[in-house]
Amino acid sequence: SKNQPKYKRIVLKLSGEALGDRTAGDTISGEILQRIALEIKKVHDLGVQICLVVGGGNIFRGKLGAASSQKVDRTTGDFMGMMATMINGLALMDCLEKNGVPVRVQSALHIEEVAEPFILRRAIRHLEKGRVVIFVAGTGNPYFSTDTTAALRASEIGADVIMKATKVDGIYDADPVKNSGAKKFDQITFIDALKNQYAVMDSTAFSLCLDNEMPIIVFDMNESDSIRRAVMGETIGTLVC
């Protein structure tokens, strides 16, 4: 029916940057957290099972600052990045709980006092009980991204779709900032996205989605009500499938 959500189990990928407010100088913005929590709550109230995969780019992204002449080893930097995702995950947990949404955090790296370990069957049980599950620490492996984590977890839990929140409102045939005539796609196939090298996700993440036929919706998180509308099957952002 038209009033039933199209997607019953979703993975929402939030970049770390989406939680910060650069102009205010906030690594994690309370106002932004609250806004995101309310958007998630709305979808939770519809009975949709929700997993969050959160990035860490607002805190650390594998490298020291651009102005730094010092370098940190790739694997060390990646673990720093994974730990950054834990910090963001806890912030989201706290805010969701304060809005009455039950949450469990599962980590790909062991940090028992803070988060449960990632256990697939337990994650599914949480979803069935109406808890939002936040996956932190990425895949637990260096050389991967949180987009890849979203693709992996979505495949593992049998999600209907990955919703990737970005700064742009979808996929265009050219850079919409540089090219005023750029055309936005409502829908595009994996093969066309690949052929035209549209940057939907990094190549590892993208090929996981392609191989496992996991649809991706790329949408603008700042557009109010976008998650709910997308879940209801409205045309929001760009659907890659």
Q: Does residue 106 interact with ligand UDP by CB under 6 A?
A: no
Nearest approach, Cβ of 19 to ligand UDP (angstroms)? 9
Nearest approach, Cβ of 137 to ligand UDP (angstroms)? 7
Judged by CB under 6 A, the stretch of 29-37, 79-87, 93-101, 185-193 that binds ligand UDP is 79-87
Q: Which is nearer to ligand UDP, 62 or 170 (CB)?
A: 62
Which residues share a beta bridge with 216?
Answer: 162, 240
Q: Does residue 55 interact with ligand UDP by CB under 6 A?
A: yes
Helix axes 146-157, 203-211, angle to 10 degrees: 10
Residues 11-40: x where in contact with ligand UDP by CB under 6 A, - otherwise, as a string: ----xxx-----------------------
Q: Does residue 238 interact with ligand UDP by CB under 6 A?
A: no
Return the residue of 145, 166, 226, 238 that touches ligand UDP, per CB under 6 A. 145
Binding residues: 13-16, 56-57, 61, 78, 139-146, 166, 172, 175
Q: Does residue 144 interact with ligand UDP by CB under 6 A?
A: yes
Return the residue of 5, 20, 62, 237 that touches ligand UDP, per CB under 6 A. 62
Judged by CB under 6 A, the stretch of 97-105, 122-130, 147-155, 227-235 that binds ligand UDP is 147-155
**Residue list 83-102, contact with ligand UDP (CB under 6 A):** 84-85
Six-digit token string for 134: 């936040």
HEC string of the chain? CCCCCCCCEEEEEECHHHHCECCCCECCCHHHHHHHHHHHHHHHHCCCEEEEEECCCCCCCCCCCCCCCCCCCHHHHHHHHHHHHHHHHHHHHHHHHHCCCCEEEEECCCCCCCCEECCHHHHHHHHHCCCEEEEECCCCCCCCCHHHHHHHHHHHHCCCEEEEEECCCCCECCCCCCCCCCCECCEECHHHHHHCCCCCCCHHHHHHHHHCCCCEEEEECCCCCHHHHHHCCCCCCEEEC
Q: How far is 175 from 221, CA to CA, in rounded Å?
A: 19
Q: How far is 69 from 213, CA to CA, in rounded Å?
A: 42
Return the residue of 149, 166, 226, 238 that touches ligand UDP, per CB under 6 A. 149
Nearest approach, Cβ of 83 to ligand UDP (angstroms)? 8
Nearest approach, Cβ of 139 to ligand UDP (angstroms)? 3
Q: Which residues bind ligand UDP (CB under 6 A)?
A: 15-17, 55-57, 61-62, 77-78, 81-82, 84-85, 138-139, 141-142, 144-149
